[in-house]
Amino acid sequence: MEIVSNYLLSFILFSPVVAAIIVVILPRDQDNLIRWTSFILSLIPLGLSIALWISFRPNEPGFQFQEQRIWYAPINSSYHVGVDGISLTMVLLTTLLTPLCILASFSIKDRVKSYMALFFLLEFGLLGVFLTLDLLLFFVFWEFGLVPMYFLINQWGSEGGEREIWGGRKIPARLYASFKFMIYTMAGSLGLLLAIQMIGVVAGTFDMTVLFKIWPQLNEPLFGLSASTVKAIAFWAFVIAFAIKVPVWPFHTWLPDAHTEAPTAGSMILAGVLLKLGAYGFLRLVLPLYPQQSQAYAGALGLLAVLAIIFGAFASYGQTDFKRLVAYSSVNHMGFVVLGIAAAAFAIGSENATIALNGAVLQMFNHGLSAAGMFFLVGVIYERTHTRNLNEYGGLFPLIPVYGGILIFTSMASLGLPGLNGFISEFLVVRGSWPILTVYTALAMIGLLFTGAYILKGIKMVLHGPMNEKWSGHITEINFREIVVISPLMVLMLWIGVWPAWILNVINSAVMMFYRWF
Amino acid sequence: MQFPILSIIVFTPIVAGVLILLIPAEKKTEVRMTALAAAAFALILSVWAYFSYDIPAGGYQFMETYSWVPQFGISYQVGIDGMSAPLVLLTGIVMFTGVLISWGVDDRPREFFAFLFILATGVFGVFVALDLFMLFFFYEIAVFPMYLLISIWGWKETREYAAMKLTLYLFIGSVISLVGALAMFFAAQMGTFDMLALETANYSVTFQKIVFPFVFFGFAILGGLFPFHNWSPDGHVAAPTAVSMFHAGVLMKLGAFAALRVGIMLLPEGAKFWMPWIILLTLVNVVYGAFIASVQSDFKYVIGFSSVSHMGLVAMGFAALNRNGLLGAGMQMFSHGVMTALFFAVVGMVYDRVHTRDIPRLGGFRRVMPLVALAFIVGGLVSMGMPLFSGFIAEFPIFMGVWGAQPWIAIVAAISIVITASYIIRIITKVFFGPIPEEFEGHVSDVTVLDKVALVMLSAILIVVGVYPAIMVPLVESGVNNILRLLGGA
C-alpha cells in the first residue's frame, strides 16, 4: 500500500486510462458486462480521492502529495502533480460525478464500449488539469479533454434536430454543436497556447510553483515592449481562454448548443466539471500569475460576470426547451463564481476577498452537484417522453410523484434555497463581493430574482398546471438505478447546505494560504 | 573494423530490388515476400542504429569512410547524428509499412517494388551521407524512380502531368543547389567534398550570403517551401499509395534535411542573413497551406496541402535558428513523416474500395473499417497538434523557437492550428461517421490484416512519441547541439 500512498495522485490520474484500456479489450457484444465493469472501475478513482481527502492536511501550506518527473527535458517541462484545497475539491467533484455519469449512461445502447472508453479518457483529461503543477501539462490536459467530449456529443448526442449553417445547408444539430464546441474552445485556447509559449521562452520553465514566484515580479522589457504591456496582453489571452470555458458572457454561445445536444451524461460532466476548468484556470493561474493585471481589470471582469448572471437568467427564462433552460442556468450560476473571483482580484489579500473566494470555490463544487443533477433529471424525463419541449409537459406531478419531488429538491438547491448547498456559496460570494464591488453585487442580487423565476417556470411547466393527458399511462416513474444516480447528489446538497464546515475548512485554508504569497 | 550498419541499411533496398527483378514476373507472391523481408531487415537495422546511438557522446556515429574518386576529392563517407538518426528510422518505418499496404498492387508488382526500393536506397543514402558529392548522388537516385512510379502506377487522370511536373521541379531544384555546392567546393580550396571538412572552410560572409539562397532554395523546393510547393500536392495525388507515403512521408524531409545539412550547417552566416526573410515564406506555407487544404474536396488533395502546411513548420523551425526551433523541426520531420504516411495509407485504403476521393460522396466508413477510422483520427489529432500526440511535441518547441526569433510570426502562424482542426474534424466526421452512402452500401469491405498491422504500427508510434517524448527528444537535441555549435552558439 505504500506505493499507492506515495504515488496517490498518479494513481488517481492514470486509473481512468487503465480503465479505458480494460474496457476496450472487453468483448464487443457484452453490453451489460461493459457497463458494470465501467461502473466498478470508475469507483476506483473515487475511492482513491476519498482516501486523498482523508489523508490531506488542510492546514499545511503549499501543495501536497507532490510528484515530479522529467517529461520534456529540453523545454524544461516536467510531470509535476500536486494538490491543495482548491484542486482537491475539484478532484473529488470529478471522481464523484464520473461513476454517476456512467451509471446514468446505462441507457446508452449504441457502441457502449467506445462510449465508456471515451468517458474514462475525458475523466483523465479533467483530472489532469486539476492535478498538474506544470503549465505545459495544464495545457496538454486542457486541450486533450476536448477530444472525448467532441466525440461524445458528435456520436451519442441527441438524434433529432437540424441547424442551418451558411448557404442554407442543413446539418444535424449534434454535428453543429460538437463542431462549434471544438472550434470555439480551440480558437479560444490559441491565445492561451501562445501566452504559455511566451512564458516558457521568457522564464525558461513551466513549473507553476517557480512561475508563481518569478513571473509577477518580472519587470524587464520583453520583445521591445514594456513588461506590463506584454503581461496585460498575456493576461487577456489567459482570461479569454478561461472565460470561454466558464463561460462568461459574451463567450457563452457554444454552451447551450453543446449542452442541449450532448447525451445526458455528457451534459452532466460538461456542466458539472468542464465548466469548472475555466474557473479553476482563473483561480490557479490568472490570479497568482497576474496579480496587478487582475486588479486593474477586475472591474471589467466583474461587469461581465454580472451580465452573465442577468442575461443568463433572462435567457434561461425565455427557453421552451427544458435542457436549454438548464443550460442557460449554468451561465447564470457560473457568473457568481466569476463575480467572486473578480471581487477577490480587486482586493486580493483582504478578508472580504477570502470570503468571496471561499464562495467561488464552493459555488464551483455546488454548481457541479446541482447542474449535474438537473441535467440528469432532464435526461430522465426525456427518455420517457422523447421531447424536451416544456409546452408538451404539464401537470406531471400526480403521474410521477417521486420524480417530481426530486426535481423540486434539486431545483431548490440550484435556486439557492437556504438549507441547501447553493445558498451557502452564493451567500459567501455576495457577502465577500459586496464591500468590494458594491454596485455589481447589488445588480447580481437582482439577477438572483430571475434565477428564481426561471427555476419556478421550469417546475411549473413540467409538474404543475393542467395535466397533459397524452402522458397519462405512458410515463413511468423514475427507476431504481436513476434514484441511485441522483441520491448521492441530493445527500451532498443537503449536507453542504446544513453543515458546510467539512468542505469549507479545506477550501478556506487553501484560499488563505495560496493567495497570501501574492 | 566495426559492423558497417549504415552501408547495409543503404544498400539493402537496392540489392533486394535487383533480386526482385531476377524473380520471374508471374511469381508475384515471391516478389512480395522478398520485398517484405528486405524491408523488415532494413527496419530492424534502422531501429537498432537508432537505439544504439550513443547520445551523451553525440556527433556523427557509425562512421564509415572509403575513398571513392580520390582524384576529385570524393569519398564514400557515411554517419548519422541526432538529426538524421530519426529520419533513418522514419525511412525504415515508411518502407516497411509501404510494402505492407502495397500487397495488393497487381500490376507488375516486381517492377513496382524494385523502383520503390531504388528510391529507398536514395533516401537512406541522403540521410547518412557526409560527403557533398555523395549526397547529390543519392538525391538524384531518390528523385528519378519517382517519375516512373507515378507515371506507370499512378492515378490515370493526372499521372503524366504530375510526374512530369514533379520531376522537372525537383531537377531544377537540384541543379540550382548543385551550382551552390560547386561554388562551395571551389571556394573552400580544400579539394574535398567531405562535409565535415567543409564545416571548417571559413567561407567569407559575403560568399555565404550569395551562395546560401542557391543551396537552400534548391533543396527547399523538395521540402515544399512556398512558392515552390505546387508540385507537391499534384504529385501526392497522382502517386500510388505507397509512393505517396514515401513521397510526403520521407521525400519532403529529404529536401528539408539537405537544406539544413548543406545550407544551414555549412553556410551559417548566410543562414543568419537570409532566415529573417525566409521565415516569412514559411509563414505563408503554414497558414496558406492550411487554408488551401481546408477548401479541397478531394480527400488526397486535403492531405497533400496539409503536408505543405506542416512542412512549412519544419522550415519555420529551421528559420528560427535557435535551439527550440531546430529541436521542434527535427521532431516535426519525424512526426509529420509518420503521420502523413498514415494519412496516405488511409486515403489509399478508402480509394481502393470506393474508387472516389470526393469527400462529399464518402461517409460512414467506420462501420466497415473501424480500425481505419481510428487510425485516421489518431493521424488527425497529430495533425491538429493535439497534446499527447507527437504533433504537439514537435510544434510546441517550433513555436517557442519562433517566439525567440520573431514573436509576431508565432502569433500569426498559430491561426493555422484552428484551420487545421476545422478541416480535420470535418473530414473525420464526414468520411468515417454518419450513414454510408447508398452507392457503396454492401460493396465496401474491411481492410486486410497487413493493412491493419501497418496502421497500428504508425498510430502507435505517433502516440508513444506524444506521451513519452524522451524516447526521441534527447537524440534530436544532441543533433541540435551540433548545429548550434556551427551557428556559433546562437
Please state, in angstroms and as integers, the Cα–Cα distance from residue A210 to each residue in A76, A206, A291, A506, following that order: 12, 8, 15, 24
Q: For residue A516, how many other CB atoms are within 10 A of its CB?
A: 11
**Taking CB atoms and an 8 Å cutoff, what residues of chain B touch A147?**
381, 386
CB contact under 8 A, A187 and B418: yes
Q: Report the alpha-carbon distance of residue A315 to residue A332 in Å, rounded.
A: 9
**Taking CB atoms and an 8 Å cutoff, what residues of chain A touch B381?**
147
Range(s) of the domain holding residue B313: 5-486
Residue A15 confidence (pLDDT)? 93
Nearest-CB residue to B417 (from A144, A182, A190): A190
- The mean of the pLDDT values for chain B is 88
- Beta strand segments in A269-413, E: none
**Taking CB atoms and an 8 Å cutoff, what residues of chain A touch B429?**
154, 175, 179
- Tell which residue, B273, B288, B244, has the closest CA to residue B155: B244
Alpha-carbon gap: A158 to the closest alpha carbon of chain B (Å) = 14
Give A43-96 pLDDT, tens digit per residue. Answer: 999 999 999 999 888 888 888 888 888 888 888 889 999 998 899 999 999 999
* Cross-strand bridge partners of residue B75: B67
Query: Does B392 lie at the interface with A, CB-CB under 8 angstroms?
Result: yes
For residue B399, pLDDT over 80 is answered with: yes
Residue B202 confidence (pLDDT)? 81
Give A182-204 pLDDT, tens digit per residue. Answer: 888 888 889 999 999 999 988 88
Decide the pairing of beta strands A64-72 and A77-83.
antiparallel
Region of poorest pLDDT, from A23-32, A163-172, A286-295: A163-172
CB B213 within 8 A of CB B262: no
Segment 416-435 of chain B within 8 Å of chain A by CB: 417-418, 421-422, 425-426, 429, 433
For residue A517, pLDDT over 60 is answered with: no
For residue B490, pLDDT over 60 is answered with: no
For residue A513, pLDDT over 90 is answered with: no
The segment with the largest mean pLDDT, out of B221-235, B290-304, B328-342, is B328-342
Residue A518 confidence (pLDDT)? 52
**Minimum Cα–Cα distance from B422: chain A residue:** A183
Contacts of A266 (CB under 8 A, 6+ apart): A149, A152, A153, A156, A157
Its ipTM equals 0.89
CB contact under 8 A, A136 and B404: no
- What is the SS3 assignment for A509? helix
**In this prediction, what percent of chain B has a pLDDT beyond 90?**
29
Cell 557509425, located at residue: B62
CB B89 within 8 A of CB B46: yes
**Minimum Cα–Cα distance from A202: chain B residue:** B404
Which one of A139, A197, A205 makes the best mutation probe of the B interface by having the most chain B beta carbons within 10 Å? A197
Q: Report the alpha-carbon distance of residue A370 to residue A316 in Å, rounded.
A: 16
Contacts of B33 (CB under 8 A, 6+ apart): none
**Taking CB atoms and an 8 Å cutoff, what residues of chain B touch A143?**
386-387
Q: Report the alpha-carbon distance of residue B348 to residue B356 in Å, rounded.
A: 10
Region of poorest pLDDT, from A260-269, A271-280, B201-210, B442-451: B442-451
Give B124-178 pLDDT, tens digit per residue. Answer: 999 999 988 889 889 888 888 888 888 888 888 888 888 888 888 888 888 898 8
**Taking CB atoms and an 8 Å cutoff, what residues of chain B touch A155?**
433
Q: Report the alpha-carbon distance of residue B308 to residue B395 in Å, rounded.
A: 15
Q: Report the alpha-carbon distance of residue A133 to residue A83 in Å, rounded.
A: 8
**Minimum Cα–Cα distance from B468: chain A residue:** A71
Q: Per the structure block, which three cell numbers stand in for A198? A: 511566451
Q: Per the structure block, which three cell numbers stand in for A489? A: 447528489
- Ramachandran region, residue A466 (left: φ > 0; alpha: ψ -120 to 50; beta: rest): beta
Q: Report the alpha-carbon distance of residue B218 to residue B206 in Å, rounded.
A: 19
Backbone angles phi, psi at A486, to 5 degrees: -80, -25
Alpha-carbon gap: A450 to the closest alpha carbon of chain B (Å) = 37
- What is the SS3 assignment for A518? coil
Q: For residue A432, how many other CB atoms are within 10 A of its CB?
A: 27
**Minimum Cα–Cα distance from A146: chain B residue:** B386
Nearest-CB residue to B387 (from A75, A143, A183): A143
Q: Which long-range contacts (CB under 8 A, 24 or more apart) does B403-409 make?
A: B403/A197, B403/A198, B403/A201, B404/A201, B404/B320, B404/B322, B404/B324, B404/B325, B405/B275, B405/B276, B405/B279, B405/B319, B405/B320, B405/B321, B405/B322, B405/B325, B406/B276, B406/B279, B407/A198, B407/A223, B409/B279, B409/B280, B409/B283, B409/B316
For residue B196, pLDDT over 50 is answered with: yes
Residue B314 confidence (pLDDT)? 92
Region of poorest pLDDT, from A273-287, A353-367, A459-473, B463-477: A459-473
Give A416-450 pLDDT, tens digit per residue. Answer: 888 888 888 888 998 989 888 888 888 888 888 88
Give B400-429 pLDDT, tens digit per residue. Answer: 999 888 888 988 998 898 899 889 988 888
Alpha-carbon gap: B176 to the closest alpha carbon of chain A (Å) = 36
**In this prediction, what percent of chain A has a pLDDT beyond 70?**
99
For residue A389, pLDDT over 90 is answered with: no
Which one of A156, A201, A261 makes the best mutation probe of the B interface by having the most chain B beta carbons within 10 Å? A201
Nearest-CB residue to B397 (from A71, A74, A187): A74
Contacts of B255 (CB under 8 A, 6+ apart): B173, B219, B220, B221, B222, B223, B224
Nearest-CB residue to B400 (from A154, A190, A197): A197
Please state, in angstroms and as integers, the Cα–Cα distance from residue B359 to each residue in A111, A470, B295, B296, B364, following that order: 25, 45, 11, 9, 11
CB A419 within 8 A of CB A498: yes
Region of poorest pLDDT, from A331-335, A469-473, B474-478: A469-473
Which one of B294, B376, B425, B476 makes the best mutation probe of the A interface by having the most chain A beta carbons within 10 Å? B425
Q: Report the alpha-carbon distance of residue A220 to residue A215 in Å, rounded.
A: 11
Q: Report the alpha-carbon distance of residue A341 to residue A358 in Å, rounded.
A: 10
Q: How many A-B residue pairs are in contact by the CB < 8 A criterion?
A: 78
Q: Is B11 exposed, middle or buried (0-12, 13-18, 19+ CB in 10 A)?
A: middle
CB contact under 8 A, B477 and A74: yes
CB B146 within 8 A of CB B247: yes
For residue B87, pLDDT over 90 is answered with: yes
**Taking CB atoms and an 8 Å cutoff, what residues of chain B touch A71?**
469-470
Contacts of A54 (CB under 8 A, 6+ apart): none
- Ramachandran region, residue A138 (left: φ > 0; alpha: ψ -120 to 50; beta: rest): alpha
CB B237 within 8 A of CB B155: yes
Q: Report the alpha-carbon distance of residue B338 to residue B344 in Å, rounded.
A: 10
**Taking CB atoms and an 8 Å cutoff, what residues of chain B touch A75?**
324, 396-397, 400
Q: Per the structure block, which three cell numbers stand in for A152? A: 461524445
Give A284-342 pLDDT, tens digit per residue. Answer: 999 888 888 888 899 899 999 999 998 888 888 888 888 888 889 889 889 999 999 99
Query: How large is the average pLDDT for residues B23-27?
Result: 83
| Helix runs in A132-253, H state only | 135-144, 146-156, 173-203, 208-214, 227-245
Q: For residue B438, how many other CB atoms are within 10 A of its CB?
A: 7
Query: Does B323 lie at the interface with A, CB-CB under 8 angstroms?
Result: yes
Nearest-CB residue to A147 (from B386, B404, B470): B386
Render the burial of B406-416: b for 16+ CB within 10 Å, e for the rest.
Answer: bbebbbebbeb
Alpha-carbon gap: B420 to the closest alpha carbon of chain A (Å) = 10
Amino acid at A464: H
CB B401 within 8 A of CB B320: yes
**Minimum Cα–Cα distance from A121: chain B residue:** B388
Q: For residue A424, how many other CB atoms are within 10 A of its CB?
A: 24
Alpha-carbon gap: B280 to the closest alpha carbon of chain A (Å) = 18
- Tell which residue, B429, B238, B239, B445, has the closest CA to residue B350: B445
CB contact under 8 A, B387 and A154: no
**In this prediction, what percent of chain B has a pLDDT beyond 70?**
99
**Taking CB atoms and an 8 Å cutoff, what residues of chain B touch A183?**
418, 421-422, 425
For residue A377, pLDDT over 60 is answered with: yes
For residue B459, pLDDT over 90 is answered with: yes
Residue B70 confidence (pLDDT)? 82
What's A222's DSSP letter? B
CB contact under 8 A, B387 and A140: yes
Q: What is the DSSP string of B344-383?
A: HHHHHHHHHHHS--BGGG---GGGT-HHHHHHHHHHHHHH
Alpha-carbon gap: B303 to the closest alpha carbon of chain A (Å) = 20
Region of poorest pLDDT, from A178-182, A217-221, B283-287: A217-221
**How many CA atoms within 13 Å lie on the side-chain side of A447?**
29
CB B156 within 8 A of CB B208: no
CB B251 within 8 A of CB B222: yes
Q: Is B26 exposed, middle or buried (0-12, 13-18, 19+ CB in 10 A)?
A: exposed
Q: Which long-range contacts (CB under 8 A, 24 or more apart) does B206-210 make?
A: B207/B183, B208/B267, B208/B268, B208/B269, B208/B270, B208/B271, B208/B273, B209/B269, B209/B270, B209/B273, B209/B274, B210/B270
CB contact under 8 A, B473 and A74: yes
Q: Per the structure block, which three cell numbers stand in for A369? A: 452537484
Query: How large is the average pLDDT for residues B41-51?
Result: 93
| Counted domains in chain B | 1
- What is the SS3 assignment for A66? strand
**Taking CB atoms and an 8 Å cutoff, what residues of chain B touch A111?**
none
Contacts of B340 (CB under 8 A, 6+ apart): B245, B248, B249, B303, B306, B307, B310, B379
Alpha-carbon gap: B7 to the closest alpha carbon of chain A (Å) = 32
CB A511 within 8 A of CB A361: yes
- What is the SS3 assignment for B79? strand
CB contact under 8 A, B477 and A144: no
